[in-house]
Amino acid sequence: MQAKITNFWEWQQHFSDEKICLEAIIKQRWPEGFCCPRCNHNKGWLLKTRHVFECSDCHHHTSITAGTLFHNTKLPLVKWFWCIYWLSSDKGSISALRLTKLIGVSWVTAQRMLRTCSRSNISGIL
């Protein structure tokens, strides 16, 4: 992101709801606009109720979160973005127990989130 966010309060305000988080993922995933992964056509439209793009040429549906660390998640994207903030702002590493208290998820969920984030490149979202 362009803006330098220095604290969690600013991060929460910047990524305050699902719509904003989805827009951030779209901008990161397709910085020059949507491109169909099936036919490479560069025109499509967003089906907002399903969070997918439909290609205007081949009509293939592409989930916004497919192929990202958010793929198949049942958690709100806001919680994932909070997790990303806490992971990136902590000097060492953050424990699953601490993350459970910070974002309000179970220990098992926090452990899975940390494992998923550690395997992904989260620096692009920041």
pLDDT 10s digits, 91-111: 778 899 999 999 999 999 999
The verdict on 55 and 6 lying in the same domain is: no
Q: Are residues 39 and 99 in the same domain?
A: no
Residues 94 and 80 in one domain: yes
**Domain identity same for 92 and 38:** no
Q: Do 124 and 91 fall into the same domain?
A: yes
**Single-letter amino acid code for the residue at 83:** C
Whether 7 and 64 map to the same domain: the answer is no
How many residues in total does the chain contain? 126
Q: How far is CA 1 from CA 30, 47, 95, in A?
A: 14, 24, 26
Shared domain for 75 and 109, answered yes or no, is yes
From 14, 60, 15, 16, select the one nearest 34 (Cα to Cα). Answer: 60
pLDDT score of 124 more than 60 = no
User: Same domain, yes or no, for 25 and 74?
Assistant: yes
Q: What span, in angstroms and rounded, lies between the C-alpha atoms of 110 and 120?
A: 15
Both 78 and 88 in one domain: the answer is: yes
**Count of the separate structural domains present in the chain:** 2
**Distance between CA 31 and CA 69 in Å, rounded?**
18
- 106 CA to centre of own chain: 19
Cβ atoms of 117 and 109 closer than 8 Å = no
Q: Phi/psi at 106 (nearest 5 deg)?
A: -70, 165
Residue range 70-90: mean pLDDT, rounded: 90
Domain containing residue 95: 1-29+69-126
Q: Is the pLDDT of residue 89 over 90?
A: no
Same domain, 8 and 38: no
Here the tokens at position 107 are 């220990």
The percent of residues above 90 in pLDDT, for the chain, comes to: 55
Residues 79 and 118 in one domain: yes
